[in-house]
Amino acid sequence: MKDMTQEQARVEALRRWGTGGTIEFRPPRRPREARGRLARYACKVSNGGVRGSRTVEGQGDTWREAFEDARPR
């Protein structure tokens, strides 16, 4: 299955969590093989703003993985 675009991910976050739904994209600085085991994922979704409290959060290498990982903290 093809991954979502950043705009599709934003729409999905808003659909799931309303106006508090947020997405973050942090492209990897090095190829995936060079990243450490505890390195952050490129895609992050949550139900709270940058400064707000987040009760649901998900991370993954793709937007779909991040939404599948989204669960209460």
1 in a domain, yes or no? Answer: no
47 in a domain, yes or no? Answer: yes
45 in a domain, yes or no? Answer: yes
What pLDDT is recorded for position 25?
Answer: 92
What pLDDT is recorded for position 49?
Answer: 61
- pTM to 2 decimal places: 0.78
**What tens digit of pLDDT does each residue of 38-57 get?**
567 889 999 986 566 778 99
15 in a domain, yes or no? Answer: yes
What pLDDT is recorded for position 39?
Answer: 65
Number of domains in the chain: 1
What is the residue-wise DSSP string for 6-70? HHHHHHHHHHHHGGG-EEEE---SS-GGGS-TTPPPSEEEESS-SSS--SEEEEESSHHHHHHH-
